[in-house]
Amino acid sequence: MRALPPGSKLVIATHNPGKLREIADLLAPLGLDCVSAGELGLPEPDEDAPDFVGNARIKALAAATASGFAALADDSGFSMAALAGAPGVYSARWAGPGKDFTVAMERVHAEAASAWDAGGDRRAWFSCALCLAWPDGETATFLGRVEGEAIWPPRGANGFGYDPMFLPIGGSQSYGEMPPEEKHATSHRARAFAQLLARGLGRADGDDTSEDGAEH
Ligand code: ITT
């Protein structure tokens, strides 16, 4: 993967303030010169790919091409086993035009009603695809996933999106209750980031050391 040494300009290709906060925290140690797609006034492209990797590539390439700088995009979502993986890539859309995640969580609860009964299948997971793109069209993508269970009612006001209804395996606090630094150490986003960092983001030599991820 091409090097992106300290001081390099990197566009964080998201318009979601919750994600932006988490990505900025995860990138902070690298000393990059980060600017968000919102600050640059970049438009939001149509996310019409069928999977997280495809949508992350669409967003990263759109931002890199429009800005002329390397860009990092995140496509992510919440999935429930009882809903065959939904809302998945439609996680943002389930919140409606008002981007109200109380509405989205209530819809998950209503559609998975049988899972909330004793013995129902409450397995849930978060997925995150990160795509780093350069203005000439080169991309590298990385996937992270964290398993847990969906809880009802939602708990906690930390994080964003579906965090209050997700309890990671082995944990006692939902992502909405957990201190941000704990989520950032273990989440789907943190796992995708670990692969990205292992592939040399922020290092001068860009040495490839991980077998995960994909480059095009
Ligand atoms: P951008 O495309 O501008 O990045 P978005 O919110 O539209 O913003 P996505 O299409 O990737 O992004 O939607 C993913 C949704 O999944 C997001 O809006 C959240 O509600 C949810 N989600 C993703 N990661 C999450 C996390 O760590 N905690 C809670 N919810 C999360």
Query: Which class does domain 9-207 fall in?
Result: alpha beta
CA of 91 to the centre of ligand 1 (A): 7
pLDDT tens by residue, 39-92? 999 999 999 999 999 999 999 999 999 999 999 999 999 999 999 999 999 999
Q: What is the mean pLDDT, run by run of 10 residues, along the chain of 216 residues? A: 88 95 92 95 94 97 97 98 97 96 97 85 97 96 97 97 98 97 95 90 46 47
Q: Is 117 assigned a catalytic role?
A: no
Answer whether 199 contacts ligand 1 (Cβ < 6 A): no
162 in ligand 1 pocket by Cβ < 6 Å? yes
Atom of ligand 1 nearest to the CA of 47: 10
| C-beta separation of 76 from 189 below 8 A | yes
* Distance, CA of 144 to CA of 164 (rounded, Å): 20
Res 103: pLDDT: 97
Tokens 């692969």 -> residue:
195
Q: Given 25, 75, 100, 208, which residue is catalytic? A: 75
Confirm or reject: Cβ of 159 under 6 Å from ligand 1. yes
CA distances from 189 to 75, 122, 146, 161 (A): 10, 21, 9, 14
Residue 142: φ, ψ to 5°? -145, 140
Question: Separation of 63 CA from ligand 1 center, angstroms?
Answer: 17
| Every domain of the chain and the residues it spans | 9-207
Q: Are 129 and 191 in contact (CB under 8 A)?
A: no
* Residues paired with 141 in a beta bridge: 131, 214
